[in-house]
Amino acid sequence: MRYDLNLLPIFVALMEERSVTRAAERMGMTQPALSNALSRLRQMLQDQLFVRERYGIQPTPIALELSPLIAEALAQLDDAVLGQQAFDPAHAERLFTIAPNGYVEFVLVPAVLARLEKVAPGIKLRLTPYGNDLVETGVVSGTTALVLGRIVDPPDNLVVQHLMDEGLACAVRADHPAIGDAMTREQFETMKHVNIVPPGRMRAGLFQALAQQQLKRDVAISVTNFFAVAEMVAVTDYCATLPSLICRRLMHDPRLKILPAPVDLGSFPVEMAWHVRYRHDPAHRWLRALIGEVITDFKGKTAATAMPSPA
């Protein structure tokens, strides 16, 4: 039997999007064109494949059975084709869409951008929101090249790489009337706090650490990113508990001082994930290696200038 291989990526898009409209947008097709392709898919695979429901489409049992086989076949084809291609970063022109969480965007992305400017000026980055879960980032469907942050419950079609573990410290204003060179547990619990709220299920790290240590926080304001925290702390008597690398950045602000938390709040992982179809893409592998080099540099600087430990 003859198979139209052009239809198989459309099958994967429909499986992952569960919507003809979204699948058409992802494939760069009109909705009528995708509907026509679905008709040909049904004829080729001799099954209805997808049935309409109130909020989209649902795969039939045969579609569910075929899905991992088709996805793996396309991944192997990508591996075979892309593995033969050379990649010259100095002359390459390519746009990568990545989804960093707020921490990675604040701390790591500027360093990645600086390195790209030096070694691969034709490589461009587009940042997309981290979202409430991995599906929203686009990495599960493969439309987003990389997701960087804390990876929770990744599906089987993602490869996850651990990059580093990050600690936590506290920031207060330099002339805080009640806080000297250290902060006690009682001071921490009686102060008002600036809270950074990560999206969706990504908010486990600090919240769990506080609960485990039975450390209370009186939250005065909750914000969605790190960018305004320094300004808020600098003009109030509030405290912000932040990742150590962000605190290192803030150490250069004379309005602020960085202190260890009154108890050990542990660490949280920083990870990178990508769709299996990019395993052997030379450009994608190169970008992952570059991010790894940036992380190595950060680790070296962290070792050279260690943050103070809690008493």
Please state the separation of Cα 45 from the chain's center in Å. 36
Task: Please give the backbone phi and psi of residue 309, each rounded to the nearest 5 degrees, phi first.
Answer: -95, 155
- What beta strand segments (E) does the chain contain? 50-53, 56-59, 94-100, 123-127, 146-149, 158-166, 168-173, 192-196, 218-223, 239-243, 256-259, 268-275
pLDDT number for residue 205 = 67
Residue 105's Cβ-count burial label (10 Å; 0-12, 13-18, 19+) is buried
CA proximity to 148, closest of 304, 13, 298? 298
Q: Is residue 289 predicted with pLDDT exceeding 50?
A: yes
pLDDT number for residue 239 = 96
Q: Do 199 and 132 meet the contact criterion of CB atoms below 8 Å apart?
A: yes
What CA–CA distance (Å, rounded) separates 214 from 11? 50
pLDDT number for residue 213 = 85
* Claim: this prediction has a pTM higher than 0.75: no
Q: What's the pLDDT band for 75 if we cut at 50, 70, 90? A: confident
Taking residues 215-227, what's their average pLDDT? 90
pLDDT number for residue 302 = 63
For 6, which DSSP code?
Answer: G
> Highest mean pLDDT range out of 24-33, 207-216, 269-278?
269-278
Q: Where in the chain is the domain with CATH 1.10.10.10?
A: 5-82
Please give the CATH architecture assigned to the domain spanning 94-165+269-304: 3-Layer(aba) Sandwich (3.40)
More reliable by pLDDT, 133 or 60: 60
pLDDT number for residue 83 = 56
Please state the separation of Cα 76 from the chain's center in Å. 25
Taking residues 3-14, what's their average pLDDT? 86
pLDDT digits (tens, 9 = 90+) for 224-237: 888 889 999 999 99
Phi-psi region of 179 (alpha: psi -120 to 50; beta: other; left: phi over 0): beta
Q: Which residue is listed with tokens 């506080």?
A: 210
Q: What is the overall mean pLDDT for the chain? A: 86
Least confident of 188-202, 249-263, 280-294: 188-202
Please give the CATH architecture assigned to the domain spanning 168-266: 3-Layer(aba) Sandwich (3.40)
Q: What's the pLDDT band for 80 if we cut at 50, 70, 90? A: low
Strands 239-243 and 218-223: unpaired
Task: Please give the backbone phi and psi of residue 180, each rounded to the nearest 5 degrees, phi first.
Answer: -95, -125
Q: Where in the chain is the domain with CATH 3.40.190.10?
A: 94-165+269-304, 168-266
Q: Is residue 311 predicted with pLDDT exceeding 50?
A: no
Q: Do 240 and 229 meet the contact criterion of CB atoms below 8 Å apart?
A: yes
Phi-psi region of 214 (alpha: psi -120 to 50; beta: other; left: phi over 0): left
Please give the CATH architecture assigned to the domain spanning 5-82: Orthogonal Bundle (1.10)
Q: Is residue 49 predicted with pLDDT exceeding 80?
A: yes
